[in-house]
Chain A
Amino acid sequence: MFSKFKIFWRMLRRLSGDDAYERYLRHHAAHHQDETPLSKAAFFKQWQDEKWNGIKRCC
């Protein structure tokens, strides 16, 4: 029961982008170790601007 809730919570965070920064840090650690990662606020700013560049909503 508890583990089901955990999966649901993880899905919800993933779907909403709540964990976007954590995923970014993981990606950064894996691929760009030589550079310092963006701060959470700076990353979020960029992430949100990029997300809305293009057709994202339909009728």
Chain B
Amino acid sequence: MNNLLKNSIWILVAALGAAAVGGIALNRGESINTLWFITAALCVYAIAYRFYAVWIAATVLAVDETRATPAERLDNGRDFVPTNKWIVFGHHFAAIAGPGPLVGPTLAAQFGYLPGTLWILFGAVLGGCVQDMVTLFLSTRRDAKSLGQMARDELGALGGTAALIGTFAIMIILIAVLGLVVVNAMKHSPWATATVSATIPIAMIVGLYMRSFRPGQVLEASALGVVLLLLSVAGGGLIDHSETLRVWFDHDGLTLAWWVMAYGFAAAIMPVWLLLAPRDYLSTYIKLGTITLLAVTIIMLQPTVKMPALTQFIDGTGPIFGGTLFPFVFITIACGAISGFHALIASGTTPKLLSNERDIRMIGYGGMLLESFVAIMAMMAATVLDPGVFFAINSPAGVVGKEAVDAVAKISSWGFPVTVDQMRLLANQMGEATLFARTGGAPSLAVGMASIFGSAFGESMLALWYHFAIMFEAIFILTTLDAGTRVGRFMLQDMLGNIWPKLGETSWTPSVVLTSALVVAGWGYFLYIGVIDPNGGVNILWPLFGIANQMLAAIALCVATGILVKSDKIEYAWVTGLPLVWLVTITSSAAWEKIASDNVRIGFFAAADDLAEKLAAGVLPPEKAAVAPQLIFNQHLDGWLTLFFVTLLWLIVFDMLRVCSRYLAGKPVLPLAESPHIPSCLVEDWVRD
């Protein structure tokens, strides 16, 4: 009887989920309520978590709850510590969820709400969650080794090197594109610039508080910091209203880009306790708080989605980025569906805390489900805006024209009516001079969040909500930026240490300064080009980031598939093999289009040739002609970089296939590096408080 009841509940969930997904997919022409999206997401997640994840954990991976985890065996009271599963979940989620799932879906909304939503849902349950969970399991079985180390141990030197280079490359591109998102949100916005700048001294106050004034009192210091941050949002408004002060914070994109680079360099050489660690505390609280608030208000208000299911831009003519629906929606939304970067957290970091293998499903699979839900909410915040407004905020000036009149005429001609007055009123409500051409996702998400929060808590605070949302995104973008620069510095020092050991010493100041400067120069270059590009660098940088991130995911899935085959589980190898095939397909086709397309908005080389021709013919306006040589060089560089990523991807796929076929033919391969079975003797009540 009990069983029958349980089964019928799950059948009901499945039917409800299918109805909601069907409702979203088949709805045409009529506006659709966000409740449909939430229902579809929750049902799909519940079914996947209850059945697919359980099956993978029990049958494919065969998790063993009697087996001691590295946290138990290597417990040192510091980094290896058996920890309550909810705490591990919190750490893991805070580590994996950055600004990616907020930006990607917002950009992909140019195709309409449907493609992005379906990819976020099904990409996550079949790809991203599987990758995170399997990687977490494999690393747990290998003394919490990193992805690169596992690739080296299981596949060979090629795999290990590819993982290392992939990680370094993705870090550079990621920081550049995130820097660009912040710059676009701050340019000529004294309020946003003042608020975001204020987060730096606030983080330092918090750092000093918990280091010197009250050592180790993390919560006290964080509470102080959160209060100061909220005050800084209001304080930014006061600065914006003061004629004398606002000019201090009113800058164009390029100036802000130089400041972001200077900040990144300073943060990488400063001690972590002063800036990085306290900023991270603040960003984690603000992030978790805001995401919860957004979920609650969306569920309470159930706003209507105004974006159509599909727009005409699926043909590749979209204003935000060029490229057809396939493969570009899959490249644009990486975080939220499948993100290779997670494999770096799921290996090395999280396994050191895991007290029992049985929690792998909840932390690995469940953590990614929650991130996927964040991406769904970002999609909703973007699509509840009037489509005309959405495109006006996100279309770069190079595509729709610099003047407001031209931009609204162009956007309205696409069938998304918007007027200058409407945009002026909106900018006014948000406390901004203009909202046109703020490409990158942060401002349109902030407008979406502000209007959702505004209708819940009163319209009078729209400007405050808008700048709160900008601060919320900027603060953890900057955390990713300085944490990433730091990691890049360590990796570079590690690599250079092979050439000259002295450079590998992480405490030798000349080496620290040199390697930090090199890493900042790396991403600073792409940021600089992105800012001077009149078509908005997002069009170039975001696809490059997507390709790099999916390449890293493919490396993780290669390692997993290789290990499954070597563990005589070839009949289950499709669990990671199919997502791998899909990733290789989309990454390769996107890379191919970026390299070979003769459409100047897609192909890097085509764009370079086009610009060179125009420059030679003298038809470019002077300000564009001045930067054209740099843009041409950059397009070539991006083209070669894409080729490099896709070559690396194929190398590691072939390396994995080589290892698998050798194993299946009975030839010697590197042995499984799994650590031996030691029975767990943790007293559960003690550890699982």
Contact = CB atoms under 8 A, between A and B. Distances in A.
Interface of A: 10-18, 20-21, 23-24, 27-28, 31, 40-41, 43-45, 47-59
Contacts of B689: 10
Nearest to B273: A48
Nearest to A59: B100
Contacts of A14: 83-84, 87
Contact of B215 (A16, A41, A49, A59): A41
Nearest to B689: A10
Interface of B: 75-79, 81, 83-84, 86-87, 90-91, 95-100, 167, 174, 178, 210-211, 215-219, 222, 271-273, 276-277, 280-281, 334-335, 339, 341-342, 344-345, 348-349, 479-480, 483-484, 486-487, 490, 549, 689
A57 B77 contact: no
Contacts of B98: 57-59
A15 B167 CA distance: 27
20 contacts: A10-B689, A15-B91, A20-B218, A23-B77, A27-B75, A27-B81, A28-B77, A41-B211, A43-B216, A49-B271, A51-B272, A54-B348, A54-B349, A54-B487, A55-B345, A57-B280, A57-B480, A58-B342, A58-B345, A58-B480
Most chain B beta-carbon neighbours within 10 Å: one of A31, A43, A52 = A52
A13 B587 CA distance: 42
Contacts of B273: 45, 48-49
B219 to A, nearest CB: 4
Contact of A59 (B91, B211, B271, B341): B341
Contact of B348 (A15, A21, A55, A58): A55
A54 B577 CA distance: 29
User: A-B pairs with the 6 shortest C-beta distances?
Assistant: A27-B77, A59-B100, A41-B215, A44-B216, A57-B483, A52-B272
Most chain B beta-carbon neighbours within 10 Å: one of A31, A40, A41, A59 = A59
A55 B277 CA distance: 13
A59 B216 contact: no
Contacts of B277: 48, 51-52
A25 to B, nearest CB: 9
Given A15-B91, A45-B273, A59 B86 contact: no
Nearest to A51: B277
Contacts of B97: 58
B218 A17 contact: yes
Nearest to B347: A55
A56 B78 contact: no
A16 to B, nearest CB: 5
Contacts of B335: 58-59
Contacts of A58: 95-98, 100, 335, 339, 341-342, 344-345, 480
A16 B219 contact: yes
Contact of A18 (B167, B217, B549): B217
Given A10-B689, A56-B483, A58-B95, A21 B216 contact: yes
Given A15-B90, A45-B211, A59-B98, A50 B79 contact: yes
Contacts of A16: 218-219, 222, 281
Contacts of A13: 219
B687 to A, nearest CB: 12
A55 B344 contact: yes
B298 to A, nearest CB: 23
A57 B99 CA distance: 11
A49 B216 contact: no
A18 B486 CA distance: 24
B344 A24 contact: no
Nearest to A31: B77
A20 B527 CA distance: 38
A24 B77 CA distance: 6
Contacts of A17: 218
Given A57-B483, A59-B99, 12 more contacts: A14-B84, A15-B87, A15-B91, A17-B218, A20-B218, A51-B79, A52-B272, A55-B344, A55-B349, A56-B349, A57-B95, A59-B339
Contact of A56 (B75, B86, B95): B95
A30 to B, nearest CB: 9
Contacts of B280: 56-57
Nearest to B100: A59
Contacts of A40: 215-216
Nearest to B217: A18
Contacts of A20: 216, 218
A3 B167 CA distance: 45
Nearest to A30: B77
Contacts of B178: 59
A44 B167 CA distance: 30
A28 B483 CA distance: 30
Contacts of A49: 271-273
B218 A18 contact: yes
A41 to B, nearest CB: 4
Nearest to B91: A15
